[in-house]
Amino acid sequence: MVATRKYADEPSGPFPRPPDSFEDGDGRTIELVAPTEVDEAVLEDVVAMYDAFDPVDRAQGIPPTGEQRIRNWLESIVDIGINVIASHEGDIIGHATLVPDSDDPAAIEAASDIEWELAIFVLQDYQRAGIGTQLLEHLLGHAAEVGIERVWLTVERWNGAAIALYERVGFEQTGGESFEQEMTIRLE
Amino acid sequence: MKVLLGLAGSDESIKTLRRTIERTAAVGDDLTVVVVDKPETKRSQEEMREQAESLLSEAGIETDVETLEGDPGSALVNFTEQGEFDQLVIGGGTVSPMGKIRLGPIAEFVLLNAPTTVKLVR
């Protein structure tokens, strides 16, 4: 893949790392973990979270709807990516993930050679309580720990709340010539 | 139906071409194909034109493949308007590693400017 995205010269960070827990804006205790391997049981819990996700908040086609399509999508990204999962009282309520731009195992292993695409979803009942910021920061902390340096994402241009969230943790707006706003961050 | 197919030089364009050939063969649309001048694509404009001609002739569809100069989105919309086409067909977006659908600047310009129905092929 041609590296065309622009990244800041100065890295952002340091960011907190999972495992961690915090109290959200509504007084709920939220646990953050980064499973080294997403086994069958964890995968099914994540599928259940996305199945409960209101599709009004889907972005650029993800998450898909319907349990089987959600499972197929997750199976295509969780094993090659890195993941941070947010739970409340044992139920998964948020998921943030980075997926490599390459499907070459050696490049993925090296991590810093390639770019990683970010996505984050928080169940509607848990939004606007500061969980997204925590989840995002811990994902970036975990990413830096495994050697990832360049992270990018796209967000629908009208989604000011999401763009503001990404800017708060250090993302900068890059290429702006299509419907989606591209944003990038360089990690330490 | 009088259909205009707009291609660049990407794999997405090849997919769009194959799908449109299938559809044309099935319903007997009157198909015209143009290749826009988009630098930095996998295939040059001439390579894309040759590939389109060979796939069309393999499918037994008689049509010329023309090349358009200038800004791709603007050239496509102009050609559609001048030629009184019923529908303009273009590639409908690529998918990122995450699975997110991305629409490029050509698709955006076409959607916001074309007076005809636009079909996005996925």
CATH number, domain with residue A161: 3.40.630.30
Could you tell me if residue A165 is inside a domain? yes
pTM: 0.89
Closest partner residue to A179 (CB to CB) among B95, B97, B108 is: B108
* Phi, psi (deg, nearest 5) at residue A119: -145, 150
Could you report the per-residue pLDDT of A109-121, keeping only the tens digit for each? Answer: 889 999 999 999 9
Could you tell me if residue A1 is inside a domain? no
Please give the C-alpha separations between residue A34 and each of A20, A29, A142, B26, in angstroms, as whole numbers.
Answer: 10, 17, 8, 50
Could you report the per-residue pLDDT of B50-88, keeping only the tens digit for each? Answer: 999 999 999 999 998 999 999 999 999 999 999 999 999
In this predicted structure, the answer to whether residue B2 has a pLDDT above a threshold of 80 is yes
Query: Given CB atoms, is A36 within the 8 Å cutoff of chain B?
Result: no
Could you report the per-residue pLDDT of A67-122, keeping only the tens digit for each? Answer: 999 999 999 999 999 999 999 999 999 999 999 998 888 888 889 999 999 999 99
Domain of A161?
20-186
In this predicted structure, the answer to whether residue B26 has a pLDDT above a threshold of 80 is yes
What integer is the mean pLDDT of A145-170?
94
Q: Do A179 and B97 touch (CB under 8 A)?
A: no
The reply to whether CATH 3.90.1150.10 applies to domain B2-121 is: no
Domain count, chain A: 1
Could you report the per-residue pLDDT of A25-53, keeping only the tens digit for each? Answer: 999 999 999 998 899 999 999 999 999 99
Instruction: Check residue A72 and give its pLDDT.
Output: 96
Please say whether the beta carbons of A148 and A187 come within 8 A: yes
Q: pLDDT band at residue A3, thresholds of 50, 70 and 90?
A: low
Could you tell me if residue A114 is inside a domain? yes
Q: Do B99 and A61 touch (CB under 8 A)?
A: yes
Strands A82-88 and A150-156: unpaired
The CA distance from A123 to A131, in Å, is: 10
Question: How close does chain A come to B101, measured CA to CA in Å?
Answer: 5
* Phi, psi (deg, nearest 5) at residue A109: -60, -40
Taking the CB of residue B10, how many other CB atoms lie within 10 A of it?
A: 18
Q: Do A77 and B97 touch (CB under 8 A)?
A: yes
In this predicted structure, the answer to whether residue A2 has a pLDDT above a threshold of 70 is no
Could you tell me if residue A58 is inside a domain? yes
**What count of Cα atoms within 13 Å lies in the side-chain half-sphere of residue A14?**
6
Q: Do B99 and A97 touch (CB under 8 A)?
A: no
Q: Which residue has the higher pLDDT, A64 or A105?
A: A64
User: Percent of chain A having pLDDT more than 70?
Assistant: 97
Query: Given CB atoms, is A101 within the 8 Å cutoff of chain B?
Result: yes
Could you tell me if residue A156 is inside a domain? yes
Instruction: Check residue A103 and give its pLDDT.
Output: 84
Could you tell me if residue A49 is inside a domain? yes
Instruction: Check residue A1 and give its pLDDT.
Output: 44
Interface of A with B in 158-177 (CB under 8 A): 177
Instruction: Examine residue B105 and say whether the peptide bond preceding it is cis (omega within 30 degrees of 0).
Output: no
Query: Given CB atoms, is A48 within the 8 Å cutoff of chain B?
Result: no
The CA distance from B107 to A162, in Å, is: 24
Could you tell me if residue A3 is inside a domain? no
What integer is the mean pLDDT of A128-146?
97
Instruction: Check residue A176 and give its pLDDT.
Output: 66
What interface predicted TM-score (ipTM) does this complex get?
Answer: 0.86
